[in-house]
Amino acid sequence: MKTTEKNTILNHDEIVHKIRRIAYQIYENNVDEAEVVLAGIDSNGYLLAKKLKTVLSKISTINPVLCRVIIDKKNPLNPISTSLATSEYTNKSVVLIDDVLNSGTTLIYGVKHFLNVPLKQFKTAVLVNRNHKKYPVKADFKGISLSTSLHEHVDVVLEGKVFEASLD
Asked whether residue 22 is domain-assigned, the answer is yes
| Cβ-based neighbours of 51, under 8 Å, separated by 6 or more | 19, 158
Rg of the chain in Å (alpha carbons)? 16
CATH number at residue 111: 3.40.50.2020
Asked whether residue 138 is domain-assigned, the answer is yes
pLDDT of residue 102: 85
Q: Is the alpha carbon torsion for 135, 33, 142, 72 positive or negative?
A: negative
98-123: per-residue pLDDT in tens?
A: 999 988 889 999 999 999 999 999 99
Note the pTM of the prediction, 2 decimals.
Answer: 0.91
Helix ranges (H only) for the chain are 12-29, 44-59, 105-114
Total tally of structural domains belonging to the chain? 1
Q: Which domain range does residue 46 map to?
A: 11-167
